[in-house]
Amino acid sequence: MSAIYRTEAAGQRLREQYRQGLAQAPVPTGQLHLPTREGETFVLACGPEQAPPLVLLHGSGANSSTWFADLPAWSEHFRVYAVDLVGEPGLSAPSRPDLSTEAGALWLDDVFEGLGLERAAVAGMSLGGWTALDYAIRRPDRVTRLALGCPAGLGTQRRWRILGAGLLTLFGRRARERSVRFLVGLGPSEGTALLDGIMEVFAEFRPRTETLPVFPDAALRSLPMPVLVTVGERDQMFDSAQTARRVRECVPNARVRVLPGVGHALTSQTGPVLEFLRG
Nearest to 151 by CA among 127, 186, 184: 127
**Would you state the pLDDT for residue 189?**
54
| Digitized pLDDT (tens) for each residue of the chain, 279 residues in all | 558 998 999 999 999 999 999 999 999 999 999 999 999 999 999 999 999 999 999 999 999 999 999 999 999 999 999 999 999 999 999 999 999 999 999 999 999 999 999 999 999 999 999 999 999 999 999 999 999 999 999 999 975 444 443 434 444 566 566 666 666 666 655 556 666 777 778 788 988 888 899 999 999 999 999 999 999 999 988 999 999 999 999 999 999 999 999 988 888 899 999 999 999
- Answer whether 150's CB lies under 8 Å from 60's CB: no
Q: Which domains does the chain have, with CATH numbers?
A: 2-158+210-278 (3.40.50.1820)
DSSP state of 139: -
Separation CA 58–CA 185 (nearest Å):
18
| Whole-number Cα distances in Å, 118 to 37, 56, 113, 144, 231 | 18, 16, 8, 10, 29
- Answer whether 247's CB lies under 8 Å from 220's CB: yes
